[in-house]
Structure 1
Amino acid sequence: MVTITHYLYLKWWPRLKRQNALRPPAARRDKPYDRRRRVACLKELRVAFVCDEMTWKDFSAECDARFLTPQNWYEVLKDWKPDIFLCESAWSGIDEYRDCWRARIYRNHQVLFEQRRELLQILDFCRDMGIVSVFWNKEDPTFWGNQQYDFVDTALRFDYILTTAEECVDSYRAKGHENVSVWQFGFSPKLFHPTGKQMQDKAVFAGSWYADQYERCQDMCSLFDTVLSSGLHLDIYDRQSGSSDPNCQYPIKYKPLVRPGVPFDQLGQVLGGYLYAVNINTVKSSPTMFARRVFELMACGEVVISNESCGLRRFFSDRVWFVGEERPSPQKIQQMRSANFYEVFLNHTCHKRLCNLAQHVGIELVQTRPSVAVLFTESVRIFENDWLDMNNQGEISFYQCKQWRPAALKEQMPLAKHDYWYWPQIGDNGQIFNVLLEQFAYLPPNMGVCRNKSKAFSFETIVWRAGIMVPVCLGEQLLRKPEMLITVFYIP
């Protein structure tokens, strides 16, 4: 019966919807593509994706991305010639092509025919044409050994395997695959960042209730009760709010707290209004696998309240409010928010993940970050070596200015050479520099960014001064009108 059901869904349903896959010609090109070993920047890296909606939203804006479907893959690969084919352990595909990959990525051993036909054809084409294939298994370790949803069998057919679970690396190698490494979740600053709103002393949870997952439900109840018993108000945004499935209905005692779900690409704006956010980990014993939401919440400047997780303990130590612990003091809360904000913007952006992937598969990115002109007087020259250590790509230029006058700056700085200008203040260092630069992923081009702990995560309109980084287009305006007021966003 399982085989018949899958056959009807995968073979006949597309025909009824006029979605038959294009069949590649039997005779293929003899000569593979000339594989690129150097790419100017990440934006020019061509990546063909098979993934679900969240991953697509996270990564597609970071590179030159195309989404493959069972219908378009041959034409896209043949004409576009991507550098990398990146497939994740997807369940259905992106919203624009809803369910196009449902049941076509994992191996179902209960089905007596090969339901991954299009995916395997893509891999054959990539192998013939010299396109690097990468499989990202974000369902490790949960579905390892699962006979119905066997993503491992699929992963073993790719050139490279990425896993969210460090403990699975040796297991893949034991199956004969050597190119295996850890690739954790990341976050997109374009989607998740501080909003500048006044953050309310409330807690938020955005996610689903699955009544058939007993341990997860028990942990969620413990988390919700911890929040409520501490005196905090809790809002729950139900990802399955449109579902009539009784398995996805929150318990009656939490019903008054439940609100309709929010689309993934709008969620960051909602989260930014809360000081606290609840996170639930289904996987708790992995040293590297924990919820994607953790990075997103920390990027918004929120305090994460979570159930237990070895990975969270390893990466964030005492900077997470774990269930059963007392509510942190106001001083501790500020320290947690600041440290986590720096940690995720320095190490866990999707941009950084893709840069590492390109390097891992042998593609050199000539430029990995924008070009910045650092303006300094003798009093701040001590920071030059620190920045050079932190940013050895050669994309930072230093200009010493004896006088802070527009005329002097015009003479000393080739304006068109740089993307941003930065006039450091005492106490700034390489880490602060890097985090300041990351904020322009979401800030408009007429704003600057500056470090100020007492005003962190807020906007202010001021005159340009030390410590502010600005886009070069705004800097050129400031040269003409030095007293012009600009809007600045503060980070801690």
Structure 2
Amino acid sequence: MPLKVALISDELTFSALQEEVSIVNINSINYWWILKFWKPDFVFVESAWKGKGNAWKYKIASYPDVPKRSNKDLKKVIHCARDLGIPCVFWNKEDGVHFDRFIASATLFDTVFTVDENCISRYREILGANARIRTLTFPVQPKNHYLPDVESEVHSGACFVGSYSHHVHDQRRSWQDMMFSAAQPYGLTVYDRNSDRKSKNYRYPDWPWIEVKDSVSNEKTADIYRKYLVQFNVNTVTDSPSMYSRRLVEALACGSIVVTNPALSVDRYFSEYCEVVHSREECDDVLERIFRGGGKHERERARAGADYVLREHTWAKRLQEVVETIGL
């Protein structure tokens, strides 16, 4: 029998988890029936901004300036599950940048997972000594992101899948500008995760060698990661030994040659399998070596990276960590 999980999450986590376990998305209307009669093995709640079908928009994160936005519906779900003896797990995938935004909801749970190991002591201080607090790093879903047995035709250019912001994350934007500038001789295709947002704050630089395309679903990013010779990655959090971008681990799983900025998490897990650049000069040298030299050595290393990720960083492994932690 597969695990039965009552889920509150954004679309990315739902699409990955549905391949591993039996899932029902719960909301403020159906939760009592699901918990009472479907009887899930546990409730899994992530730091969702919207939830499936926007069911949890403004209902998990804290917005102190807007009192009507609250987690009162989430409290009802957790209290109901507790009354029925169903374990509840919270996973903050937005740590440590948005620790404060989700800490009020995290306090509702006895078991909290975080992507950022640096936040464990902060959770311990607030939740107390009896709370179970663990690290749960970003995994991949191998049914979506994997290295095919037969290599597909690779486009000669570079690619970046993600967002760009003018008003926040200054350091991240500096890394992006450096990498994007270095790609000028080779061309760069960007898939804009915020293509549906109208604000100019989210627009990419209007540089002639950058082709900006609309956002695609997470499942379709696998084809993009396989299509281009080089994938750029930028980690917003660089001082955490466990926090890295979802993009990094998914691109590696597809056998991509990844060029990334440095981060403690990259040093810990992935430095053997990607190109870590610390400056524009290093980025220029790496790209010239890959594009002018054909990237044979880099592709071999990337294939080893795919093997490593699909062995050590899968949703199946992360679920096992959750199950062991809550004692199922």
- TM-score above 0.5, yes or no: yes
Size of the aligned set, in residue pairs, is 312
Identity among equivalent pairs (%): 30
For 1:260-313, what per-residue CA distance to the aligned partner results, in whole angstroms no more than 9, with x for missing partners?
221222221222112211112111111100101111001110011112211111
Deviates more, 1:269-278 or 1:346-355: 269-278
Q: Residue 104 of structure 2: SS of its match in structure 1? A: helix
Residues of 1 paired with 2:183 and 2:275: CA distance? 10
Residues of 2 paired with 1:270 and 1:108: CA distance? 36
Q: Is the 8 A contact 1:192 1:268 kept in 2?
A: yes
- The equivalent residue for 1:295 is 249
For 1:229-252, what per-residue CA distance to the aligned partner results, in whole angstroms no more than 9, with x for missing partners?
xx4332111122233211111111
Instruction: Pick the aligned partner of 2:276 from 314, 318, 322.
Output: 322
- The equivalent residue for 1:135 is 90
- The equivalent residue for 2:303 is 338
- The equivalent residue for 2:174 is 218
- The equivalent residue for 1:440 is none
1:361 is aligned to 2:311: no
Q: Is the 8 A contact 1:223 1:307 kept in 2?
A: no
- The equivalent residue for 1:479 is none
For 1:113-168, what per-residue CA distance to the aligned partner results, in whole angstroms no more than 9, with x for missing partners?
67211110011011110000000011111123x3xx2x112112112000001111
The AA in structure 1 aligned to 2:178 is: S
- The equivalent residue for 1:160 is 111
- The equivalent residue for 1:93 is 51
The AA in structure 1 aligned to 2:60 is: I
Residues of 2 paired with 1:57 and 1:114: CA distance? 26
1:194 is aligned to 2:147: yes
The AA in structure 1 aligned to 2:183 is: V
1:184 is aligned to 2:137: yes
Question: 1:211 offset after TM fit, Å?
Answer: 1.1
Residues of 1 paired with 2:242 and 2:304: CA distance? 19
For 1:171-215, what per-residue CA distance to the aligned partner results, in whole angstroms no more than 9, with x for missing partners?
211221530000001011111123431223322111111111222
- The equivalent residue for 1:118 is 73
Structure 2 vs 1, CA of residues 184 and 345 (structure 1 numbering), >3 Å: closer, same or farther?
same
Q: Is the 8 A contact 1:275 1:301 kept in 2?
A: no
The AA in structure 1 aligned to 2:319 is: L
Residues of 2 paired with 1:232 and 1:341: CA distance? 25
Q: Residue 220 of structure 2: SS of its match in structure 1? A: helix
Root mean square deviation of aligned Cα: 1.8
Instruction: Pick the aligned partner of 1:62 from 20, 25, 28.
Output: 20
Deviates more, 1:84-93 or 1:333-342: 333-342
Q: Residue 304 of structure 1: SS of its match in structure 2? A: strand
Which runs of structure 2 are paired with 1:352-431 in the superposition (5 Å)? Answer: 352-363=317-328
Q: Is the 8 A contact 1:92 1:101 kept in 2?
A: yes
- The equivalent residue for 1:350 is 315
Q: Which runs of 5+ in 1 are unaligned?
A: 1-39, 364-492
Higher relative contact order (CA 8 A, sep 6+): 2
Residues of 1 paired with 2:26 and 2:47: CA distance? 14
Q: Residue 264 of structure 1: SS of its match in structure 2? A: coil
TM-score by length of 1: 0.61
Instruction: Pick the aligned partner of 2:231 from 277, 282, 287.
Output: 277
Q: Is the 8 A contact 1:271 1:300 kept in 2?
A: yes
Question: 1:79 offset after TM fit, Å?
Answer: 1.4
TM-score by length of 2: 0.89
Residues of 1 paired with 2:78 and 2:86: CA distance? 9
Q: Is the 8 A contact 2:59 2:69 kept in 1?
A: no
- The equivalent residue for 2:207 is 253
Structure 2 vs 1, CA of residues 337 and 86 (structure 1 numbering), >3 Å: closer, same or farther?
same
Question: 1:226 offset after TM fit, Å?
Answer: 2.6
- The equivalent residue for 1:286 is 240
The AA in structure 2 aligned to 1:333 is: E
Structure 2 vs 1, CA of residues 234 and 66 (structure 1 numbering), >3 Å: closer, same or farther?
same
Residues of 2 paired with 1:234 and 1:241: CA distance? 17
Q: Residue 219 of structure 2: SS of its match in structure 1? A: helix
- The equivalent residue for 2:37 is 79
Residues of 1 paired with 2:208 and 2:83: CA distance? 55
For 1:16-45, what per-residue CA distance to the aligned partner results, in whole angstroms no more than 9, with x for missing partners?
xxxxxxxxxxxxxxxxxxxxxxxx5xxx10
Q: Which runs of 5+ in 2 are unaligned?
A: none
- The equivalent residue for 1:4 is none
The AA in structure 1 aligned to 2:325 is: H
Q: Residue 252 of structure 1: SS of its match in structure 2? A: coil
Residues of 2 paired with 1:215 and 1:257: CA distance? 23
Q: Is the 8 A contact 2:6 2:40 kept in 1?
A: yes
1:48 is aligned to 2:6: yes
- The equivalent residue for 1:395 is none
The AA in structure 2 aligned to 1:185 is: F
Structure 2 vs 1, CA of residues 255 and 48 (structure 1 numbering), >3 Å: closer, same or farther?
farther
Residues of 2 paired with 1:284 and 1:164: CA distance? 13
Q: Residue 180 of structure 1: SS of its match in structure 2? A: strand
Q: Residue 205 of structure 1: SS of its match in structure 2? A: strand
Give the number of the structure whose alpha-carbon radius of gyration is greater.
Answer: 1
For 1:407-447, what per-residue CA distance to the aligned partner results, in whole angstroms no more than 9, with x for missing partners?
xxxxxxxxxxxxxxxxxxxxxxxxxxxxxxxxxxxxxxxxx
Structure 1 residue ranges, 4+ long, deviating more than 4 angstroms after superposition: 111-114
- The equivalent residue for 2:183 is 227
The AA in structure 2 aligned to 1:311 is: S
